[in-house]
């Protein structure tokens, strides 16, 4: 492992014209070549098939970009570590393809993991110096799945320390900067993943989301970020913040790439800490087999193969105006303007876009809260004590980490606060309110809105395929600050329903900054969210690459 010290864009698909023949007669054919800036999985595989690049060359290109731009150049501080073995894995893949082996779904796809996801070949620090030598004994289940499908784990991404918040700073990696404007913050907590994938330091990334930690950085970095339904993706080998709300998910530059990553992430995990319960209730038993997992989740054979460029035609989309903000600030006005333009494009593409009300929304957002305060202390101890510290000497409890003071000074009060909730919380009425009542109420309200029912349960028209609203109410904040996110990001974790953020467009700022739009759907209906996002992406082409990290 290597610990990294502290407007001209190439098209991802370069077409080379080959001229053949004799005399004045010339035939032409096009051969796919791969360039890493904004490069997609499909384009990579086309180039590998054509023989115009190799996996080793591709991995080296991304390593070169990290070296050139992360701690030098714009100094994004987005990557904590790169793997010593990435180039070795790449050469092995080249040899396998040369020997006639078939292309795997994620062949040679470079992945950056938020550094709270376990790898057996690199420490998992959660951004805290207290865990800088913490070496898990095996890969997280989702990392194992990625590797099985041919992905190459390029390294670990910086994050807001211990996934606590949205500033995007850690004692291991420093302050992450926004790829579009280095005077701006990256959001969080999956800050490094967001900035790194936006700047094309890898093809795709993984983040984790307890409240909004995939979707907030995806919004300010112009990415597609999916918080899957709870229970769909295994939590095994992920440093917890709150086990009843946590989930990992993909962060990508295109919808198709996120769908391909989701194809790898889903699947039954027999581990005791998978979180794959057979019902949404917090105390439901874990599914006992791959068959039961499939019966509960209804995972399709492939999210990627189900994508349709015409998915918006005939779609019914519910606009939650109550989540758009008051329009008093210039930032919120800019966000609203971009979203209005996006809704107009959806309508032009054939979608039926209508306003919808989520019943008791104000009460939901004011009454209920994240359960991280009640779960982090106990969950961190459970995680750290899950393997022996005989070889790596890692701390094995929350209290040891808290007492070490080996983390950012700003988080001392956070550890004190979380430490006040260590031990048995079964008698804590507020915790029980959020464990038991909250999911029932929020799921009921969202389903009433999605099904387009009145308070009396009477149909008011065709059900909605998804609800839409701004991912956050503002733009990327000043560096060292947290974004004006609002409460929109709470609906997905409070219910367990999936939510997907994608670029709606760019705000009229200098430099231009991304604005995200969030789609929320029914439990385990990731396919619909991906389809709608893909349809919008094909119509609007909303993503623009940052200008500060061009091709080398």
DSSP label at residue 129: G
CA distance 3 to 71: 11
With beta carbons less than 8 A apart as the criterion, state whether 514 and 231 touch: no
H or E element at residue 171 = none
With beta carbons less than 8 A apart as the criterion, state whether 478 and 185 touch: yes
Catalytic residue among 54, 83, 114, 372: 114
Strands (E), 349-444: 352-355
Catalytic residue among 213, 218, 274, 485: 213
Told to judge if 213 belongs to the known catalytic residues of this protein, a careful annotator would answer yes
Catalytic residue among 189, 200, 492, 495: 189
> Own/partner pairs for 301-307, CB < 8 Å, 24+ apart?
302/259, 302/263, 303/259, 303/260, 303/262, 303/263, 303/526, 303/527, 303/530, 304/256, 304/259, 304/260, 304/262, 304/263, 306/259, 306/527, 306/530, 306/531, 307/255, 307/256, 307/259, 307/530, 307/531, 307/534
Q: Which two tokens stand for residue 226?
A: 């999916």
Which of helix, strand or coil describes residue 226? strand
Nearest to 548 by CA among 6, 5, 7: 7
With beta carbons less than 8 A apart as the criterion, state whether 110 and 154 touch: yes
H or E element at residue 14 = strand 13-20
Adjacency order of strands within the sheet including 110-114: 2-3, 79-82, 152-157, 110-114, 204-209, 247-252, 224-227, 499-507, 513-520, 466-470, 316-319, 352-355
Q: Which two tokens stand for residue 299?
A: 């995972």
Helix, strand, coil: what percent of the chain each, to 5?
Answer: 35, 15, 50
Nearest to 245 by CA among 489, 519, 426, 533: 489
Bridge partner list, 403: none
With beta carbons less than 8 A apart as the criterion, state whether 249 and 227 touch: yes
Residue 466 CB-half CA count within 13 A: 29
Other CB atoms within 10 Å distance of the CB of residue 16: 11
H or E element at residue 147 = helix 141-148
Strands (E), 370-498: 466-470
Residue 143 CB-half CA count within 13 A: 27
CA distance 45 to 304: 15
Does 189 sit behind a cis peptide bond, omega within 30 degrees of 0 on the bond before it? yes
CA distance 525 to 463: 14
Residues designated as active site: 114, 189, 213
């Amino acid at each position: 492992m290597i610990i990294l010290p502290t407007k001209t864009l190439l098209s991802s698909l370069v077409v080379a014209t080959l001229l053949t023949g004799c005399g004045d007669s010339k035939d032409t054919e096009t051969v796919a070549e791969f360039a890493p800036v904004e490069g997609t999985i499909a384009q990579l595989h086309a180039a590998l098939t054509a023989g115009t690049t190799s996996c080793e060359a591709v991995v080296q290109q991304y390593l070169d970009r990290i070296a050139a731009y992360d701690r030098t150049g714009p100094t994004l501080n987005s990557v904590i570590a790169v793997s010593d073995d990435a180039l070795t894995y790449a050469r092995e893949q080249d040899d396998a393809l040369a020997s006639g082996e078939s292309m795997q779904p994620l062949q040679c796809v470079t992945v950056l993991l938020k550094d709270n996801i376990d790898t057996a070949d690199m420490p998992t620090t959660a951004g805290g110096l207290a865990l800088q030598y913490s070496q898990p004994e095996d890969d997280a289940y989702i990392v194992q799945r990625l590797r099985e499908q041919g992905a190459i784990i390029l390294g670990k991404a910086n994050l807001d320390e211990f996934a606590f918040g949205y500033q995007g700073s850690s004692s291991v990696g420093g302050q992450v900067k926004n790829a579009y404007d280095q005077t701006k913050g990256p959001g969080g907590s999956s800050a490094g993943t967001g900035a790194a994938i936006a700047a094309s330091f890898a093809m795709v990334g993984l983040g984790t989301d307890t409240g909004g930690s995939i979707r907030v950085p995806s919004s300010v970095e112009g990415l597609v970020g999916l918080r899957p339904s709870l229970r769909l993706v295994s939590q095994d080998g992920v440093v917890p913040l709150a086990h009843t709300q946590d989930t990992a998910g993909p962060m990508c530059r295109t919808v198709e790439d996120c769908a391909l990553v989701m194809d790898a992430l889903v699947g039954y995990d027999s581990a005791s800490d998978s979180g794959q319960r057979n019902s949404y209730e917090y105390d439901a038993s874990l599914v006992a087999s791959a068959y039961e997992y499939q019966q509960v989740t209804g995972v399709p054979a492939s999210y990627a193969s189900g994508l349709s460029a015409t998915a918006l035609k005939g779609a019914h989309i519910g606009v939650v105006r109550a989540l758009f903000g008051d329009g008093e600030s210039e930032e919120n006005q800019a966000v609203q303007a971009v979203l209005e333009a996006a809704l107009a494009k959806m309508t032009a593409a054939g979608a039926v876009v209508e306003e919808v009300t989520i019943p008791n929304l104000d009460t939901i957002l004011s009454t209920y809260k994240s359960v991280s305060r009640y779960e982090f202390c106990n969950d961190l101890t459970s995680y750290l004590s899950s393997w022996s510290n005989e070889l790596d000497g890692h701390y094995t409890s929350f209290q040891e980490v808290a007492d070490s003071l080996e983390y950012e000074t700003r988080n001392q009060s956070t550890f004190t606060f979380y430490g006040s909730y260590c031990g048995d919380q079964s008698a804590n009425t507020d915790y029980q309110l959020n464990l038991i009542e909250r999911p029932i109420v929020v799921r009921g309200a969202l389903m009433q809105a999605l099904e387009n029912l009145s308070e009396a349960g009477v149909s008011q028209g065709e059900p909605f395929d998804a609800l839409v609203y701004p991912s956050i109410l503002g733009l990327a904040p000043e560096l060292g600050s947290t974004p004006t996110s609002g409460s929109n990001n709470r609906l997905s974790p409070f219910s367990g329903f999936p939510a997907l953020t994608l670029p709606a467009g760019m705000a009229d700022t200098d430099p231009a900054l991304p604005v995200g739009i969030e789609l929320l759907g029914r439990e385990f209906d990731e396919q619909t969210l991906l389809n709608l996002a893909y349809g919008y992406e094909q119509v609007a082409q909303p993503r623009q690459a940052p200008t500060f990290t061009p091709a080398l």
